[in-house]
Amino acid sequence: MASKLTTSNRSGWGFALPGFSLIVLFIVLPFFFAFGFSLTNQRLISPNPTEYVGFENYRNLLGFGLVTLEPERSDDGAVVRDDDGEIAYPRLRTITRSDEYPQYRGMREWFRWQDGENAKVVIASDVVFLRALTNTFLFVIIVAPVQGGLALGLALLINQRLKGINVFRAIYFMPVVVSIVVVSLLWRFLYDVSDGMFNSMLGFFSFGLIGPIDWLGNPDTALPAIMVMSIWQAVGFHMVIWLAGLQTISPTLYEAAAIEGASKWQTFRYVTWPGLRHTAVLILIVITMQAFALFSQVDVMTSGGPLDSTQTLVFQAVERGYGKQDISGGSTISVILFLIVLTISLIQRFLTRER
């Protein structure tokens, strides 16, 4: 099938072939391998031959169940309460490790809620993966709008014709150029509980009222700390993209708005923002995809801790595939991540389509 694309562009294909074949070899092929490996018990290296196991890896990752715990009752039927007044429930391990419920073997508690006097517990066979899933989603939901919005704000600022504006453009863009690993190491020092700069400044400005906060050691602050750092590092990149979009808006529109007597906010809302539609779609999709790939910061700063509060999908995939030598487990996580990102991208494309 010799179409115009292939025949009249022969030299073009020739030039593209080296890069194209490398991409196929290192990105496209492993992509298909991942699907294949997730259906086997492939190890990193092992004298045992690889066997086909079907969807067992997926069942192990995504399996969950719902258990109802009834409160412990004393001999006369009254509910036993512990010292804090909380209802005492039997330990979950009496159910998950008993022979009566073999289907719950190996499962752990994910979360629970009260239903009257009973406690409903959702148990899952891979709680760490599910925590990684929720943390990654949380990260994306918070970082995508905040980073995009911050980048837009910075782009509006540096879109002015001031002397020396290029210095500011360079300064805002510089964190992007620095390797994320280096940034993570530096910010780990900043976040240090006893000698870190943030705690020192906090103590200084609050006159010692606010004590040192263990940013990376406290499960509640670890993920927000990583979010702040990630936003700081990547905002310059999206700022430049917004800037390009801003500069495509025709200045005659701005003149027209000025003649009409529009305020700054009205100018932004009716002239700038509609002109940025395409850029906004691009930025949203790019930030979402990059945010799902959160790995280096976690690997350098917290290793998934404390108490799984900074686990992410890619970190778990690498930890399992490489660290625990279980390639099939890592591939399964990669496939699930791919499906999630694909679904979200399709949804975003649908919502932002041209009507």
Partner 1 sequence: MKQTKIYTGALLASVLMTGTALAQTELSMWYHGAGSDVEIALVTQVIDDFNASQDDWEVVLESFPQESYNDSISAAALSGDLPDIVDVDGPIMPNWAWAGYLQPLPIDESEFDDFLPGTKGIWDGKLYSIGLWDAALALYTRQSTLDDLGLRTPTLDDPWDKDEFMAALDAAKASGDYEYAVDMGLAWTGEWYPYAIGPFLQSFGGDIVDRSTYLTAEGVLNGDEAIAFGEWWQSLFTEGYAPGTSQDPADRDSGFISGKYAFSWNGNWAAVAAIEGGVDDIVFLPAPDFGNGPTIGAASWQFGVSASSEHPEGAAEFIKFAAQDKYLAAFSDGIGLIPATPTAAAMTERYQEGGALNVFFGLSEAQALVRPVTPGYVVAAKVFEKALADISNGADVADTLDAAVDEIDADIERNNGYGF
Interface ranges with partner 1 (CB under 8 A): 41, 43-48, 60, 91-93, 96-97, 106, 108-109, 127, 192-195, 214, 216-217, 219, 303-308, 319, 322-326
Closest CB 312 distance from partner 1, rounded Å:
15
Which CB sits closer to partner 1, 245 or 304?
304
Closest CB 92 distance from partner 1, rounded Å:
7
Closest CB 226 distance from partner 1, rounded Å:
14
Which CB sits closer to partner 1, 15 or 189?
189
Which CB sits closer to partner 1, 214 or 249?
214
Cα–Cα distances in angstroms (integers) from residue 216 to residues 12, 17, 133, 195, 213, in the given order: 50, 46, 20, 13, 9
**Residue 87, SS3 per DSSP:** strand
Strands of the chain (E only): list them: 64-69, 108-115, 118-124
Closest CB 130 distance from partner 1, rounded Å:
13
Which CB sits closer to partner 1, 87 or 246?
87
d(CA 332, CA 125): 15
CB atoms within 10 A of CB 257: 18
Closest CB 313 distance from partner 1, rounded Å:
17
Which CB sits closer to partner 1, 308 or 333?
308
For 186-201, the DSSP string reads HHHHHT-TTT-HHHHH
CA 223 to chain centre: 10
Which CB sits closer to partner 1, 288 or 328?
328
Phi-psi region of 47 (alpha: psi -120 to 50; beta: other; left: phi over 0): alpha
Closest CB 321 distance from partner 1, rounded Å:
11
d(CA 108, CA 174): 44
